[in-house]
Structure 1
Amino acid sequence: MFRVPYIIFTVICVQTITANSMEDVKTLLADLMVNYSSEVRPVKDQTKPVSIDVGMALVSINDFNEVTGVISVVIVLFLSWADESLVWDSSSYNNTTSLTFSEKKIWVPNIFLTNPANDFKPVSNKHFKVTVQANGSVYWTPGSILQATCQPDVSKFPFDLQECTISIAPHGYYGTQVSLFTNVPTINLDFYSPNSAWDIISTKAFVTTVGVDIASFTIEMSRRPLNFMVSVVIPIIMLALINPFVFILPFNSGERTSCSITVLLAFTVYMTVVSDRMPASSEPMSHLSYYLLSMLALSVFIVTVNIFQIRTYSKNENEVPVPKWMKNLIMNFYKICRKGKVETKSRDPYETKRIPDKIESIKNHIIRLESIDESDLAENKTHSKDENCNETSFSQPENITWYTVAKYADKLYFTAFLVFTGIASLRYFVVVAT
């Protein structure tokens, strides 16, 4: 109806009155106010609605509280409509084409925020001006600090996107009496001051009808995560990765238990920090909370396992023998490790180049053996066998002690917990990044 660019509205509101004398303006204003009532809708046919073009400019985002679900913004509304009682012939008033005066003098719609977080009050405070054109066009630009409710979605905190809607409606009028429409499908950001914690991704404006017309303005914003990454996420991941290293501490150092409990307490502190940033009844829950809970549970498990490991180290095999199945398990584990080492050695790419030299060395060795007495050879075999047994005696089932069992268990626990922590940390970043 009135397709006037929003940027012109501000200029119109502060422009000087285009008249040659004060008397012309006073006369025009007095003539317009004769028999004018600010309580009556400004249409001659009262069965028709007053059509209002609605737009909004966002000045700043003061705060968004995820815990309470409240967003505080500074906005300016752009409203325009036709007042059929405020039409005049500019030539009769010395070419006066527009007037600017208080909004109290004429009919203006009572615009209210429909999703307030605290007080239910009109957007305007009766101190804003209106500009009226000779053809009856009225331009009104009230502004206010609004606190609206906004349901947060912190599932990907601190990489979350939030979508908040500010809805306004004329109070006391049905859609058949006052209708709203918008010519611009977005929010005006020409006057916007960037926020230190949030970046605006997109905006949209639309009108819905539920008995009354409601103009809604949606702001989609993304959090700037660097502060939370440095102060919360990265320290938590570092603690999680250092947690399994308690199993490579020497048993006799006496620091195993204190180290694992210290990490457990650190996770508890960070869980409190993250909980303070989350809504009390968040749905869905933050993936960071789940990750932190899993690391806390893992830390509790590590403390428990470490206590049993210390007990295992201190056991006396003379009093409590090592079970045979456990000895066999250690032996199999040892053989697997040794097999891997042998296979790794056999993959030498230069091995084939040294075969002739080896053959020659074997021939020389055979010649030397022929010159040795059989008694010396038997003695050497026995000596070699004894050395062999001594070298691998710790791997024989009958010689495996509880100390050996605990040592191999430490390696197993260290590997298992480190792999689990790495997978859990990687999964968290994959989930929040998608």
Structure 2
Amino acid sequence: MFVDVLLVCLIFRILNVTVCQDIDNYEKLYNDLFNNQYNPDLKPVSNGTKNMTITIAFFNLGLNHFDEVNGILSVSGGLEISWFDNSLKWNPKDYNGISEMLVSKSVVWLPQVTLMTDAQQLQPFGANCLLKILIRHDGFIYWTPADIINSKCAANIRKFPYDEQECSILFMAWDITWKTHLQPASIPYNDFYEKKHPDWNTKSVISRQGKVVGNTYEFVFKIKREPLYYNILVFLPVALLSLLNPLVFLLPHECGERLGYGITILLSFVIFLTLASDKIPATSNPISFLIIFIIMVFVASAVITLLNIINVYLFYKSDYELKGFFKHIYIIFKKRRKNQVFPVEKYTVNYKNIAIGLDRFCFVLSYIAMLSFITVYFIVLQY
């Protein structure tokens, strides 16, 4: 028993000595690197005329939200930034095999990589990030600041809700001397930790040089909206109402709900137009095809309501008999059996006959119009 206790104490003693030696080696390495006239305000280049190369890679943690009304893309993600600092090199053999070390970002020179498409505040990316910096013995430094990126992105809602958006997240090496260049890493984009969004699908992310070659680099997000919600909530009710609207001409004139039926459907289109317009930007170019479709069926519904009022007025007008030209026009369009002969002089035509005939004509015409609007809407979405 005594031997076991002695053995345990000996093991703890050895571990304690090893840990203390490692701490001493890290402290010695830290002091040698940063207490030997190292200045974090100076760019780590041996010659002030040389260019500084910064390698960046973007890792995407997921799309948070796309505000198409205000034109803001919100993405959780960050950059893996690396560069070379010749003054922060050491031989691992001199420090008990230590090949890398984590330090605070305040003691090391940092590149001013700025998000140029920031929708809130223009500042160096990761300015508020508290993550430490990794320094390797060969002088290469790695920093992975992460944040919620709110980038400006103008929405193209022409095909809403079947729209696809292309948003660019542009980074720039903010250097007044224009001698700090950005270049992509071997794997410039990583979506391994990306979380799927319920309303948007990320089709692709393209990394490429910005317009200012060397100093800028951008990551272009191509996202596609899931249209099911808007199809069920907006398009399907509008399409059904547009097909129900012409049925007003089949209701009997004696039915007191004939005018109320048409006006109710007309007001329903206004509600769906308001619902759709709240979800898209208030812009004149481009205008959403869905908004145009709702406006067209709304105008058609207004015309149907007007014709319905005229027909009701004609139906209850006095039994004044029409003669001459109007009588002949009505008889021509009146359906008769084949080879049936009927004396024109004995045929009586009044306003009630006109109203009934107009009901049939308007019913067919309005159905053709509504079906045409729906067909054209689906055709234009293909282009």
- Normalising by structure 2, what TM-score? 0.89
1:56 to 42, 55, 58: 58
Q: Percent identity?
A: 28
Determine the C-alpha separation between the residues in 2 that align with 1:304 and 1:80: 71
Aligned to 1:428: 377
2:158 to 148, 155, 158: 155
1:339-358 alignment runs, 5 A limit: 339=338
Determine the C-alpha separation between the residues in 1 that align with 2:88 and 2:289: 59
Structure 2 residues without counterparts, runs of 5 or longer: 1-18
How many Å apart are 1:256 and its aligned residue? 1.5
Q: Residue 174 of structure 1 contacts residue 212 of structure 1 at CA under 8 Å; is this kept in 2?
A: no
1:40-119 alignment runs, 5 A limit: 40-119=42-121
Q: Residue 236 of structure 1 contacts residue 267 of structure 1 at CA under 8 Å; is this kept in 2?
A: yes
How many Å apart are 1:103 and its aligned residue? 1.4
Determine the C-alpha separation between the residues in 1 that align with 2:363 and 2:51: 75
- Equivalenced residues, count: 363
Determine the C-alpha separation between the residues in 2 that align with 1:66 and 1:97: 48
**Residue 27 (1) aligns with residue 28 (2):** yes
How many Å apart are 1:111 and its aligned residue? 2.2
Q: Residue 163 of structure 1 contacts residue 218 of structure 1 at CA under 8 Å; is this kept in 2?
A: yes
Aligned to 2:311: 309
1:203-249 superposed Cα distances (whole Å, 9 cap, x missing partner)? 11112253871121111000011111111110011111111111111
Give the letter for the 1:426 counterpart.
Answer: T
How many Å apart are 1:174 and its aligned residue? 4.0
Determine the C-alpha separation between the residues in 2 that align with 1:300 and 1:397: 38
1:310-357 superposed Cα distances (whole Å, 9 cap, x missing partner)? 111112243xx324333323322235x645xx9xxxxxxxxxxxxxxx
Q: Tell me the C-alpha RMSD between the 2 structures.
A: 2.2
1:139 to 132, 138, 142: 142
- Cα separation, partners in 2 of 1:425 and 1:19, compared to 1, 3 Å: farther
Kindly name which structure, 1 or 2, has the bigger radius of gyration based on alpha carbons: 1
How many Å apart are 1:401 and its aligned residue? 2.5
- Cα separation, partners in 2 of 1:396 and 1:58, compared to 1, 3 Å: farther
- Cα separation, partners in 2 of 1:401 and 1:118, compared to 1, 3 Å: same
**Residue 298 (1) aligns with residue 300 (2):** yes
Aligned to 1:324: 324
**Residue 258 (1) aligns with residue 260 (2):** yes
Give the letter for the 1:31 counterpart.
Answer: D
Determine the C-alpha separation between the residues in 2 that align with 1:187 and 1:253: 67
SS at match of 1:151: coil
Structure holding more helix per residue: 1
1:182-215 superposed Cα distances (whole Å, 9 cap, x missing partner)? 1457631111011111001111111225387112
- Cα separation, partners in 2 of 1:225 and 1:100, compared to 1, 3 Å: same
Q: Residue 25 of structure 2 contacts residue 96 of structure 2 at CA under 8 Å; is this kept in 1?
A: yes
Q: Residue 245 of structure 2 contacts residue 262 of structure 2 at CA under 8 Å; is this kept in 1?
A: yes
Q: Which moved more, 1:21-30 or 1:211-220?
A: 211-220
Give the letter for the 2:123 counterpart.
Answer: K
SS at match of 2:130: coil
Structure 1 residues without counterparts, runs of 5 or longer: 1-17, 343-387
Q: Residue 19 of structure 1 contacts residue 95 of structure 1 at CA under 8 Å; is this kept in 2?
A: no
Determine the C-alpha separation between the residues in 1 that align with 2:359 and 2:110: 78
Q: Residue 327 of structure 1 contacts residue 397 of structure 1 at CA under 8 Å; is this kept in 2?
A: no
Q: Residue 182 of structure 2 contacts residue 214 of structure 2 at CA under 8 Å; is this kept in 1?
A: no
